[in-house]
């Protein structure tokens, strides 16, 4: 199994570790210390050795931070984790803070009105984060102080860094040789007036070099740094044990290999101007370059935008991966529909069976994130991860929410289905139908080129808003091609101002959650595409669906759907049957035919 069900942290350690940290904070002449979720690469998912926030607090979510002061310790979490945090941290020691509604600056001003010194590790925060916080504290008596990492000073049994070998990502799936990417991006650097660019995001490096790794579970990346020169040459800072002879041959003579330990000195020796991303590079990277007297050009990582716009080969790989994954999902759902009503299954049984069906494809490299399988009230925990301690029976009369995905050689998948197990709970069908209406609205959207995710986000919420409902997460995130399941820069969210462009792949996943009862989410992946010309021929974009798995018709109040919504769902299910039917067993095909019947 890729997924395990152990409890990765425990709330019982929190108070003791917090007391030890406060002693170190005081000994350093500080008033407080800032602990982020991120590592030096600013990844959403971190290696065990970098899980400082979880080690201290017990909180295991993928986003957040903790501010430790002498008399309080705030754990800042967004809407996805409001329920989860209460079960993971010791509430006598830590106080959950709703973020970003409450930001770090105002919170510090409230809790330190007389001033203080807040330490932070400049390798774990971006330039933008530090500048934003300093602006928020401007005029106060609170100072931000760069310091060594104080968590590391008390984490005596910290795990070793990851050292998994990297591999070549075949050109047939990448669609463009690494040398051509480097030449293209190098030419763009020259136009920007930069002599070089520092790359700190592992997925940017993986995309640029057409390599993949296994340093971070669920994310096929190698932890490394790189410097791209304007002539297309590149220096890769990675541990030698990760680089096989085959991979070295793939990289070629234009890529110089150096150990990570040489990165700091290399930054000080760069000729400028040097492009550094203020939103993703560690604050210390810019500091090293500037302290050496070299000018810095603060601009976006040059890999981010082209990586988001998939090549035709990447799109084809994602389409093939979704057909393969759709067949595995249908085999699984047919099994689940037969077994769940018996009342003997647990959440762990469901997760295990789903992974077995994906393994049966013969091409599963990993799951793309830990499967979220929430029965009844656990479904209301947006990023719930079942453990042996929380494992719950799948009980008839409840909803079952399953959010899962896979990493295949040619693509990455992410799909959520909410299922009825026996009788439908009161109010669930109406809520499900409103969520479905939002998912359909995004799927059918046609919009002018230049619009961003924030311009479309409301389409997914209107049906919920009309009934006084909503959900506290974005509607969609970017997805990598055989890369990270969460990828920037585009997303469907109230705060996303990145214009959508052809080739981008996003999730479409509205939801609704009732704490203590159930959770509902429906998710497909969608591809941004050129829309056919109609009307006066304006330049419009649209979405093409990548995910082909039936949606539970038992939870739909058909009378609530418009004719257009019904037609879309019937056409979608006809497409599922046409594409997936030939790929599954006779028994699963019979189940699929019934599941895809017209409304």
pLDDT-derived band at 312 (thresholds 50, 70, 90) equals: very high
Q: Would strands 167-168 and 255-258 be described as parallel, antiparallel, or unpaired?
A: unpaired
Record the tokens describing residue 363, joined without a space. 């091409």
Residues 222 and 321 occupy one common structural domain: no
Domain check: are 374 and 230 in the same one? no
- End-to-end CA separation in angstroms for the chain: 38
For residues 581-597, average pLDDT: 98
d(CA 50, CA 47): 5
Are residue 18 and residue 116 in the same domain, yes or no?
A: yes
Task: Give the confidence band of 61 by pLDDT, cuts at 50, 70, 90.
Answer: confident
Cα–chain-centroid distance for residue 188?
28
Is the pLDDT reported for residue 8 higher than 80? no
Domain shared by 94 and 232, yes or no: no
Give the confidence band of 11 by pLDDT, cuts at 50, 70, 90. confident
Chain mean pLDDT for the chain = 96
Per-residue pLDDT tens digits for 47-57: 999 999 999 99
Tell whether 6 is covered by a domain.
no
Q: Are residues 46 and 189 in the same domain?
A: no
Single out the residue in 271, 303, 335 at which a domain terminates.
Answer: 303
pLDDT for 527 beyond 80: yes
Res 256 pLDDT > 80: yes
What is the percent of the chain where pLDDT is above 90? 95
Q: Report if residue 2 sits inside a domain.
A: no
Q: pLDDT at position 597, please? A: 98
Q: What per-residue confidence (pLDDT) applies to 43? A: 80
In a domain, 448, yes or no: yes
Burial of residue 532 (number of CB atoms within 10 Å: 0-12, 13-18, 19+): exposed
* Cα separation, 337 vs 221, whole angstroms: 36
Of 252, 270, 303, which residue sits at a domain end? 303
Report the distance separating Cα 78 and Cα 507, nearest Å. Answer: 19
What is the domain extent for residue 466? 309-595
Does residue 344 sit in the same domain as residue 474?
A: yes
Contact between 555 and 424 under an 8 Å Cβ cutoff? The reply is yes
Q: Which of 69-73, 78-82, 95-99, 320-324 has the lowest mean pLDDT?
A: 78-82
Locate 485 and state its tokens.
């399941």
Rounded CA-CA distance 374/401 in Å is 5
**pLDDT tens, residue by residue, 219-253:** 999 999 999 999 999 999 999 999 999 999 999 99
Give 419's strand partners: 400
Q: Tokens 């991303």 identify what position? A: 277
- Tens digit of pLDDT for each residue in 115-167? 999 999 999 999 999 999 999 999 999 999 999 999 999 999 999 999 999 99
Alpha carbon distance 436, 430 (integer Å): 10
- On whether both 332 and 294 belong to a single domain, the answer is no
| 355 and 233 part of one domain | no
Average pLDDT over residues 374-398: 96
Distance CA 412, CA 169 (A): 13
Do 378 and 421 meet the contact criterion of CB atoms below 8 Å apart?
A: no
| 1, part of any domain | no
Domain closes at, from 279, 303, 327:
303
Q: Are residues 142 and 190 in the same domain?
A: no
Give the rounded percent of residues in the chain with a pLDDT score beyond 70: 100
Q: What is the mean pLDDT of residues 383-410?
A: 96
- pLDDT at position 10: 74
- Asked if residue 213 and residue 319 are part of one domain, the reply reads no
Q: Domain for residue 5, yes or no?
A: no
Residues 132 and 172 in one domain: no
* Residue range 532-558, pLDDT digits in tens: 999 999 999 999 999 999 999 999 999
* 486 CB-contact burial (10 Å; exposed 0-12 / middle 13-18 / buried 19+): buried
Convert the pLDDT of each residue in 456-504 to its tens digit.
999 999 999 999 999 999 999 999 999 999 999 999 999 999 999 999 9
Query: Where residue 108 sits, what CATH number does that domain have?
Result: 3.40.350.10
- Overall number of domains in the chain: 3
- In angstroms, the CA 320 to CA 361 distance is 12
CATH code of the domain in which 441 resides? 3.90.230.10
Residue 160 domain flag: no
pLDDT in tens, 181-197: 999 999 999 999 999 99
Q: Which residues contact residue 91 at a Cβ distance below 8 angstroms, ignoring those fewer than 6 apart?
A: none
Any domain includes 3: no
567 in the same domain as 464: yes
Cα separation, 64 vs 419, in Å, equals 30
Dump the DSSP string for 117-182.
EEEE-TTSSBHHHHHHHHHHTTTSSEEEEE---HHHHH-TTPPPPP-PPPEE--HHHH-S-HHHHH
Contact between 113 and 107 under an 8 Å Cβ cutoff? The reply is no
Indicate left, alpha or beta for 381 from its phi (over 0: left) and psi (-120 to 50: alpha): beta
Complete DSSP assignment for 31-61: SEEEEES--TT--SS--GGG-HHHHHH----
- pLDDT at position 45, please? 86
At residue 358, the pLDDT reads 98
Residue 466 lies in a domain: yes
């Amino acid at each position: 199994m890729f997924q395990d069900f152990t409890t990765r942290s425990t709330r019982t350690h929190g108070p003791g570790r917090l007391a030890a940290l406060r002693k170190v904070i005081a000994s350093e002449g500080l008033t407080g210390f800032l602990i982020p979720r991120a590592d030096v690469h600013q990844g959403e998912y971190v290696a065990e050795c970098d899980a400082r926030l979880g080690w201290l607090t017990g909180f295991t979510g993928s986003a957040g931070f903790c501010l430790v002061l002498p008399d309080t310790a705030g754990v800042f979490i967004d809407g996805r984790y409001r329920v989860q945090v209460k079960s993971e941290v010791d509430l006598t020691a830590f106080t959950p803070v709703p973020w970003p509604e409450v930001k770090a600056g105002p919170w510090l001003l409230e809790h330190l009105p007389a001033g203080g010194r807040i330490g932070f590790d400049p390798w774990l925060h971006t330039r933008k984060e530090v500048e934003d916080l300093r602006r928020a504290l401007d005029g106060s008596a609170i100072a931000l102080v760069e310091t060594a990492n104080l968590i590391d000073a008390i984490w005596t049994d910290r795990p070793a860094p990851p050292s998994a070998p990297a591999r070549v990502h075949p050109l047939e799936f990448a669609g463009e040789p690494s040398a051509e990417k480097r030449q293209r991006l190098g030419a763009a650097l020259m136009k920007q007036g930069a002599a070089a660019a520092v790359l700190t995001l592992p997925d940017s490096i993986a995309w640029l070099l057409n390599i993949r790794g296994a340093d971070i579970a669920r994310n096929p990346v190698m932890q490394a740094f790189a410097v791209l020169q304007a002539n297309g040459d590149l220096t890769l800072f990675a541990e030698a044990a990760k680089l096989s002879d085959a991979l070295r041959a793939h990289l070629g003579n234009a890529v110089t290999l150096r150990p990570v330990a040489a990165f700091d000195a290399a930054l000080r020796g760069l000729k400028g101007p040097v492009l550094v991303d203020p939103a993703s590079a560690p604050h210390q990277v810019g500091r090293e370059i500037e302290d050496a007297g070299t000018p810095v050009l603060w601009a976006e990582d040059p890999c981010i935008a082209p990586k988001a716009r998939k090549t035709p080969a990447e799109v084809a790989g994602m389409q093939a991966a979704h057909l393969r994954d759709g067949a595995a999902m249908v085999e699984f759902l047919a099994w689940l529909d037969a077994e769940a009503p018996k009342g003997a299954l647990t959440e762990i049984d469901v997760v295990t069976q789903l992974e077995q069906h994906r393994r049966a494809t013969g091409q599963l490299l990993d799951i793309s994130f830990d499967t979220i399988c929430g029965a009844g009230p656990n479904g209301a925990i947006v990023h719930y991860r079942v453990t042996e301690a929380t494992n719950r029976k799948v009980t008839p009369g409840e909803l079952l929410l399953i959010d899962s995905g896979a990493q295949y050689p040619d693509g990455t998948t992410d799909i959520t289905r909410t299922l009825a197990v026996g009788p439908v709970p009161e109010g669930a069908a109406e809520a499900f139908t409103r969520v479905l209406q939002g998912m359909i609205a995004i799927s059918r959207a046609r919009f002018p080129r230049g619009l961003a995710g924030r311009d479309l986000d409301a389409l997914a919420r209107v049906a919920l808003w009309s009934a006084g409902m909503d959900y506290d997460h974005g509607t969609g995130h970017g997805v990598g091609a055989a890369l990270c399941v969460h990828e920037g820069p585009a997303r469907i969210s109230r705060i996303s101002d990145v214009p959508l462009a052809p080739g981008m792949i996003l999730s479409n996943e509205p939801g609704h959650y009732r704490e203590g009862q159930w959770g509902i989410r429906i998710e497909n992946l969608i591809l941004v595409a050129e829309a056919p010309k109609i009307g006066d021929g304006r330049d419009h974009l649209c979405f093409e669906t990548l995910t082909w798995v039936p949606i539970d018709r038992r939870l739909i109040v058909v009378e609530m759907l418009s004719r257009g919504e019904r037609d879309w769902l019937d056409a979608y299910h006809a497409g599922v049957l046409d594409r997936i039917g030939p790929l599954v067993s006779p028994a699963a095909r019979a189940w699929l035919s019934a599941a895809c019947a017209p409304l």
